[in-house]
Structure 1
Amino acid sequence: MSATLWHTIETEETLQKLDSSTSGLSSAEVEEKVSRHGKNLLPSRKRLTLFRIILDQFMSSLIYVLLAAAIVALILEEYSDAGFIFLVLIINAVIGAFQEWKAEEKASALENLIKLKVKTMRDGKVRVIDSEDLVPGDIVMLESGNKVPADIRILRENNLTAEEAILTGESMAIDKQSETLEKEKAAVSERSNMLFAGTTITTGRGTGVVVSTGLDTEIGKIASSLTELSTGKAPLVKRMEIFTRKISFIVLGACLVLGVTGYYSGIPIKEIFFFVVAVAVSAIPEGLPIAMTVALSIGASRMAKRNVIIRKLTAVEGLGSCTFIATDKTGTLTVDQQTARVIVLPGAIPFKVSGEGYNGKGDITAPDGEKAFVKTSPEFGDLIRAVTICNEGDLSQDDGGWSYAGDPIDVALLCLTYKAGSTPMKILEQVEKVSEVPFESERQYAAVYYKEKGKEQLQISVKGAIEKIRERIDAEKNSEMLEKAVKYAADGYRILAVGGGPVEEVMPVGELPFMELLGFIALIDPLRPEAAAAVEACHRAGVQVAMVTGDHPATSLAIAREVGIAKTREELITGDELSAISSKAGTEFLDILKSKRVFSRVSPQQKQVIVESLREAGHFIAVTGDGVNDAPALKTANIGVAMGYGTDVAKDTSSIIISDNNFASIAAGIEEGRFTYSNLRKIIYLLISTGAAELITIGLALAFMLPLPFLPVQLLWLNLVTNGIQDVALAFEAGEKKVMRQAPRRPDEAIFDPLMIRQTLISAAVIGLLAFGLWYHLLNHLHWEESIARNAVLMLMVLLQNFHALNCRSETRSVFRIPLKKNLVLIFGILAAQSIHVVALQLPIMQTILSLYPIAWQHWLYLFLTASSILFAMEIFKLYLKKKNLVIRK
């Protein structure tokens, strides 16, 4: 039954196929159909348990290596080493699980879209039942404000319209009728004799028969498809997977090579095990999981202040990595409120209208640049009065702001009344309505017969489709206006003609008298004020932007041109055109997609195919959406971005939610994402370079047949306590504005790019040579006791890490050009790291655990001056890069 094209079948035949009638189903028939079709429910989302969330925190290659190191430490009975590592894993799991649990708390059930009460016919009587009890064949009665509980074939209707944006992306309510359609492959938005589950009745009343329930509805089909789609990985996840695999191989390789070398050097097996543990501890950046989680959490907090809510931490950096944004139109680029933009009076005189949304803010400007008011001219005043009198909406202002009710077009027309310096109350109190003809889709107009108070002359005000009103006016006299109306319609505007004048009598409903054309009004869902600048910012940052919408092609192209997404009709493609080329070979199909920037009248499946194709072509793609129709694409994208006002389905499928529904916030998210990635690079740079320096120090000691310069527990102290404070503090580094003037990172670009490799090798070499030089000097020249010398080398390494943290504030800028106040957390972190180590030197318990001894202040000063050389070494390297112009894009 779900494959039946119900919109092409006559109402009588529809009832027959469903074994139903206009008097509804009997109780026995309902019971039989429930057993056959099941409840009218969509599957609820299975929430992750706290245990599963915690378990997910350990699903990482780096975590596996850390666990292996901890197990080796336990085998060797190095319990303090193992304890440190397990502490890292626990802290990281707690922070990550807390963030994801908070996001999980916001998860919502899919079935809420259609779980409601509904009026239906059962056993020949009207009954109110739960929507989940509906079955195919049930007769349902709906009216304005009702949520549609299932897919329904309309049998009878009266002025029925439905808002279907969650399925189609169409910004305007759809006129509904009961007549059979001939087009078999009509899109959802074109099936005017159908109502769909999850949509809302805007105006009128209707009676229909349920044809599909649960998973067989259009919403149900989308819900089913989500389980079959693969989710695009966030860019950071991909890069970190590659990074941790390399780290794992490096650690294993270093352990193997140095272990074998030590064995053939005559070192006892037990000492080799200790040595391997030391190497593993040096090479593994133990603090990286915590530092990454903290950096992403800080990024999430900063994004929240810019209206970008993060549901999955890895998505923080994702927006900064995206190379392509597929954005929705309605409510994202536009305000999702119909607004008059142009008023054209007789003689084709255009008046411009400013302001957005359902309020009286804005002006109406005459061709001479002066503001227009009701009394500006008789023609202008007549039109404003006509659209106010012939109006069923409500718009008023109070202390709480503007409130409105009624049809969106009626409300938009009342906005003109306020902008023209009057109010609906002032105009309506001057007239007495005699008869009203409400708008219906078949008539295509609304009319009001009235008399001005104190006068006997009957008058009429009419508004409606220009095709209808032109039949009752002097078309030749108004030919210029009619031509201009056609032009505005071609540019994506909705045209509303306004007529009026004195009449002899009230005409029968369906008939109109001859009248004067007072003018026409061009309306559109206007662009958000910040949208164009945000799109330009994305383009400047090298991010491509395309509009993917279910709206009308003309309207879509008009908005795309205004916002700067597209310029010509050649950049637009419709859903029908997309279907025609979908059979082409992969590369040819992709080439066509690459040349398009506006995709209109596309189905949910087509949007998902567009996203998947661009993703497979190498793009890191972010997709915005608010409706159920957007869910497949949101899940397929690398980064799914839901609008705050959107459906629960869209939010649940996404990793990011834009709370103010504004595309400008997406641009802000890209900037913050790039800031976060830059900070993550700084953290990785610090941890890997210092870890590599420790390896170099150990390797040189082995090569020169010297004892190990560090104990494993001392390396853990370095990596977790001293560096562990500083790497987290780097996460607070303020971003550099230049990131939005640079191209996005290549999708195949690794974290360890040429710049990272150069700076890591050079800084590690300098730090390692300094530490080994001191170790060699103390043992061979000054003949210090091994434990005392090791204590001094450890202090030098702490100081070197303190200074190197300053180097890591920028990969290219001089540390002396970055104000300290830009990251006071780091400054305090460096002081804290040094202070903690100095205090540890004095505490007996720490002396026992870490084999520490107090250091004289003269020796500390000598070590301090020695450590400062890393600062100047890296300044020379940055100067060299700048001189040779070797910095490509960082």
Structure 2
Amino acid sequence: MPPPAPLTGLTADEVAERIQRGDVNTLPPRSGRTTWGIIRANVVTRVNFILFVLFLFVLSTGQLLQGLFAGLIVANSIIGIIQELRAKRTLDKLAVVGEARPTVLRDGEEYELARDEVVLDDVVLMRPGEQVVVDGEVVRADYLEVDESLLTGEADPVAKQPGDPVMSGSFIVAGSGAYRATKVGAAAYAAQITAQAAKFTLVHSELRQGINQILRYVSWLLVPVGILSIAVQFSRPDVTWQDAVLAMTASLVPMVPEGLVLLTAMAFALGVIRLGRRNVLVQELPAIEGLARVDVVAADKTGTLTQNAMTLGEILPIGRDEAAVRSVLEQLVAADDTHNASMRAIADAVPPATEPWPRTARAPFSSARRWSGTSFGDEHYVLGAPEALTDGEVARRAQEIAATGRRVLVLGRAELPVDSPGAPGLVAPIALLVLDQLVRPDAADTLRYFRSQGVDLKVISGDNAASVGAVTRLLGVDVGDPVDARTLPGPGREFTQTVNSADVFGRVTPEQKRHMVHALQEEGHTVAMTGDGVNDVLALKDADLGVAMGSGSPATRGVAQLVLLDDKFATLPHVVAEGRRVIGNIERVANLFLTKTIYAVALALVFGLVAVPFPFLPLHVTVVGWFTIGIPAFLLSLAPNRDKARPGFVRRTLSWAVPAGLIVAIATIVTYLVTRGLAHDVSDAVQEASSTAALIALIMVATWTLAVVARPYYLWRLALVAFAYSFYAAMFLLPFSREILQLNIDDPDRIVVGIVCGLAGMAAIEVTWWVRARILHLPARVLPRRS
């Protein structure tokens, strides 16, 4: 049979013609929303709409100064737009580095292209670890095996022959070949798998869902309380419509948690930007939240704890001299055109044969069988794991070498052709090949960090168990006895218990890695899986957080939520710290915003039911909102936070916001009603003095809420609280600010009532903080731990 005609691919003219027709693999934007979409999403929001309508009401009264709260519309929009655009730029730049770049044949030459540049009928080459980026038909297959588990859920590789279809989203596990693109862009079956890689999205987030749940609760309260407030203010006798509008607006504005959604989105966006500066590509934004919840890191040894490159350290002949062994290795190097990491190490030390033997069959390496082989007529040679190919003295000797942390392969002569169903049959070893692995210099410090933070480490590798254990010990981690995964039972209770109790596993198959992730998750762990090889794809996909190395296979990068583009394992502590910062700070500022909402609803409800004028002007609640909630919350959202994230965000937040908000409201209500009384008609001086006293009580208690939420105290947090109290003191003492805010401190009796109620409220806030911490088993530290 004549050899098949060589593939040449499309010509330049044919490519140009398809580009003109639009037959290009055009995919949605990497970072989701367009610039205009980002601007629109940050300007046209429910919160901005509510504030804008209230601003129009105030504007109709002619008192523009009372409408300063509308500045929140501008601030919210500008900050949100700037941060999301910065995150979009970061994602776009990193995605270009991290995305799969297929190799295509054009005019008989190989070209590495961006996935968006592939056109219909392009001939795309396939090599182990690469992902299929468009649907196509196989035109050349050299022992080609494709894993379609991401599409079908079936983990067994599928052998492909010319004429067979391949679908985007699948990946090559063994052999090589080429396919012709038959569907590109949106027409491809799984085009969205790769297109989703770097979308800026907040969906499927426990934190986001919790905030939405809280906002729904707030919305249910806003409607009836808002209607009551409007009815009361406009039904008061002898009150101008302008005063009624201002009172109504002042009661409604603080009910809106205007900064909570903004700061949540901003915290996520800043997380993307900060991680981007460390060459971490965040492919799914909720991954940042997952970082904070991780309590188990399952790490693949090769490419994660050790560098992906190896060197051939020794050739230990068995029954032949070294020259004869090298002769066989030269033939194997010449016959293998898709070298994996082990064969690359051998090829670097052993040149290919100048006169290759005729090759009659080949079996590419796969993680499932753990060997590769080539048949040369009646001579069949295999290379792979000693445990898979031999036993007895040779296997014992290989085990001894592996126990020192070196990797050992056996070279042997097989009984059967390597492509036969029963291959390899009996194997006669002719040499042990010892490969040296380079431990990543940053791995030891990284592992120590995880242990110090209460994050368990599971080393899961396809290598020899003793070798994996030795490498892990070299990194200073006490791992106990390594477990050979071949001795493990099938998935079940015993399997789960073993996986959760042991720390190091060797000879793990890709399917076992996946089951190990499931076993850890069954015990309530949040699992991060790191890896770089095609055998890690299934586990990466099912882990709570998949972390791929930038130099790893395109398939691993395609399914991971995070990609370490510079391959630095030492980046992971920064990644975990960023996740904790984002989640911890969002919860901290949520406590502030929802406390304000609770006390605002309570004030509007009580003053509405007793039918007295609302004590505050819109400018009062605007100032308190800015200097007790808005500005401090913004600064607190940027601060480091090392606390491990815990489930139960809604419960914890409401357990603080409800009692704290009610305490602020009670102190304010008592002050106002004691100093003013329930009479419908009081003098302007009494009304002004009572409102001032109530404002003093509200500010004292609300700012102490800030002081409690800001704990533990670092110097800058103490300065933040001190600045807030100093600002308010100046506001009451300076004549021009009293005039602008219509404050009256000339009645000392009423002012003393406000101060006393404020101090009582501060004491109640303090007690609530300690009691809540005791009930919910939360850390209650005033000062930070000494490092």
TM-score class, shorter-chain normalisation, is 0.5 to 0.7
State whether residues 296 and 528 of structure 2, in contact with CA within 8 Å, keep that contact through their aligned partners in structure 1: yes
1:669-680 matched pairs, under 5 angstroms = 669-680=575-586
2:623 is matched with: 717
SS of residue in 2 equivalent to 1:93: helix
2:409 is matched with: 495
Greater Rg by CA: 1
SS of residue in 1 equivalent to 2:40: helix
- Return closer, same or farther for 1:62/1:23 CA change in 2, 3 Å cut-off: closer
- Return closer, same or farther for 1:555/1:251 CA change in 2, 3 Å cut-off: farther
State whether residues 226 and 631 of structure 1, in contact with CA within 8 Å, keep that contact through their aligned partners in structure 2: no
- 1:522 & 1:556 partners in 2: Cα distance? 15
1:43 is matched with: 26
Normalising by structure 1, what TM-score? 0.58
1:830 is matched with: 721
State whether residues 324 and 622 of structure 1, in contact with CA within 8 Å, keep that contact through their aligned partners in structure 2: yes
Matched, 1:806 2:774: no
- Return closer, same or farther for 1:200/1:638 CA change in 2, 3 Å cut-off: closer
2:71 is matched with: 84
- Return closer, same or farther for 1:62/1:300 CA change in 2, 3 Å cut-off: same
Shift of 1:295: 4.4
SS of residue in 1 equivalent to 2:85: helix
- 1:183 & 1:642 partners in 2: Cα distance? 18
- Return closer, same or farther for 1:495/1:115 CA change in 2, 3 Å cut-off: closer
1:106 is matched with: 93
Which of 673, 693, 702 pairs up with 2:599? Answer: 693
2:258 is matched with: 286
State whether residues 144 and 161 of structure 2, in contact with CA within 8 Å, keep that contact through their aligned partners in structure 1: no
- Return closer, same or farther for 1:878/1:532 CA change in 2, 3 Å cut-off: same
1:521 is matched with: 434
Shift of 1:735: 3.0
Shift of 1:724: 1.7
- Return closer, same or farther for 1:54/1:845 CA change in 2, 3 Å cut-off: farther
- 2:14 & 2:327 partners in 1: Cα distance? 52
- 1:311 & 1:518 partners in 2: Cα distance? 45
Shift of 1:770: 2.4
- 1:772 & 1:293 partners in 2: Cα distance? 34
1:769 is matched with: 666
- 2:496 & 2:391 partners in 1: Cα distance? 41
Shift of 1:715: 0.8
- 2:58 & 2:557 partners in 1: Cα distance? 45
Shift of 1:335: 2.7
- Return closer, same or farther for 1:100/1:863 CA change in 2, 3 Å cut-off: same
Deviations 1:298-331 (A, max 9, x none): 6557656876555776653342246887877763
State whether residues 775 and 793 of structure 1, in contact with CA within 8 Å, keep that contact through their aligned partners in structure 2: yes
- 1:23 & 1:706 partners in 2: Cα distance? 87
Shift of 1:719: 0.8
Shift of 1:81: 4.8
1:56 is matched with: 41
Shift of 1:720: 2.2
State whether residues 134 and 213 of structure 1, in contact with CA within 8 Å, keep that contact through their aligned partners in structure 2: yes
1:450-849 matched pairs, under 5 angstroms = 481-484=393-396, 495-497=409-411, 520-521=433-434, 530=443, 534=447, 537=450, 568-569=485-486, 600-601=509-510, 641=547, 643-645=549-551, 656-662=562-568, 665-666=571-572, 668-736=574-642, 739=644, 745-746=646-647, 749=648, 751-753=649-651, 755-780=652-677, 784-810=685-711, 818=712, 820=713, 822=714, 824-838=715-729
Shift of 1:860: 8.9
- 1:58 & 1:314 partners in 2: Cα distance? 23
Deviations 1:517-545 (A, max 9, x none): 67542567978873897599489858897
SS of residue in 2 equivalent to 1:285: coil
Shift of 1:802: 3.0
- 1:849 & 1:72 partners in 2: Cα distance? 20
Deviations 1:793-822 (A, max 9, x none): 334433333322221134xxxxxxx4x4x2
- 2:646 & 2:758 partners in 1: Cα distance? 34
SS of residue in 2 equivalent to 1:94: helix
State whether residues 345 and 518 of structure 1, in contact with CA within 8 Å, keep that contact through their aligned partners in structure 2: yes
State whether residues 634 and 650 of structure 1, in contact with CA within 8 Å, keep that contact through their aligned partners in structure 2: yes
- Return closer, same or farther for 1:438/1:23 CA change in 2, 3 Å cut-off: closer
1:454 is matched with: none
1:402 is matched with: none
- Return closer, same or farther for 1:771/1:490 CA change in 2, 3 Å cut-off: same
State whether residues 147 and 170 of structure 2, in contact with CA within 8 Å, keep that contact through their aligned partners in structure 1: no
State whether residues 561 and 567 of structure 1, in contact with CA within 8 Å, keep that contact through their aligned partners in structure 2: no
1:150 is matched with: 123
Range 296-305 or range 238-247, more displaced = 296-305
AA at the equivalent of 1:728:
F
State whether residues 307 and 660 of structure 1, in contact with CA within 8 Å, keep that contact through their aligned partners in structure 2: yes
State whether residues 291 and 576 of structure 2, in contact with CA within 8 Å, keep that contact through their aligned partners in structure 1: yes
Shift of 1:716: 1.8
- 1:658 & 1:628 partners in 2: Cα distance? 16
AA at the equivalent of 1:679:
N
Aligned length: 696
Which of 200, 208, 227 pairs up with 1:256? Answer: 227
AA at the equivalent of 1:530:
A
- 2:25 & 2:194 partners in 1: Cα distance? 12
AA at the equivalent of 1:150:
V
Deviations 1:203-223 (A, max 9, x none): x9x9x8x54126479x97653
- Return closer, same or farther for 1:489/1:190 CA change in 2, 3 Å cut-off: farther
AA at the equivalent of 2:718:
I
SS of residue in 2 equivalent to 1:167: coil
SS of residue in 1 equivalent to 2:650: coil
State whether residues 800 and 867 of structure 1, in contact with CA within 8 Å, keep that contact through their aligned partners in structure 2: yes
Matched, 1:875 2:766: yes
- Return closer, same or farther for 1:701/1:211 CA change in 2, 3 Å cut-off: closer
Deviations 1:483-532 (A, max 9, x none): 33676999995515599xxxxxxxxxxxxxxx996754256797887389
Normalising by structure 2, what TM-score? 0.65
Gaps of 5+ in 1: 1-9, 16-20, 121-126, 137-148, 153-161, 169-175, 348-378, 393-405, 416-423, 445-463, 472-477, 500-514, 578-587, 811-817
SS of residue in 2 equivalent to 1:103: helix
2:387 is matched with: none
AA at the equivalent of 1:90:
S
- Return closer, same or farther for 1:690/1:470 CA change in 2, 3 Å cut-off: closer
- 1:707 & 1:343 partners in 2: Cα distance? 93
Shift of 1:407: 8.7
- 1:825 & 1:766 partners in 2: Cα distance? 27
AA at the equivalent of 2:716:
V
State whether residues 690 and 750 of structure 2, in contact with CA within 8 Å, keep that contact through their aligned partners in structure 1: no
Q: CA RMSD in A?
A: 6.8
SS of residue in 1 equivalent to 2:657: helix
Shift of 1:245: 1.9
SS of residue in 2 equivalent to 1:166: coil
Shift of 1:163: 5.3
Deviations 1:841-873 (A, max 9, x none): 577885565334688999999977864554443
- 2:394 & 2:646 partners in 1: Cα distance? 52
Shift of 1:561: 11
AA at the equivalent of 1:767:
V
Deviations 1:87-139 (A, max 9, x none): 3432343343333333344265699823767452xxxxxx7899879886xxx
- Return closer, same or farther for 1:216/1:94 CA change in 2, 3 Å cut-off: closer
1:74-223 matched pairs, under 5 angstroms = 79=64, 80-81=67-68, 83-106=70-93, 108=95, 113-114=101-102, 118=106, 120=108, 150-151=123-124, 164-167=128-131, 178=142, 211-213=179-181, 215=183, 222-223=190-191
AA at the equivalent of 2:181:
T
Range 622-631 or range 728-737, more displaced = 622-631
Shift of 1:252: 1.8
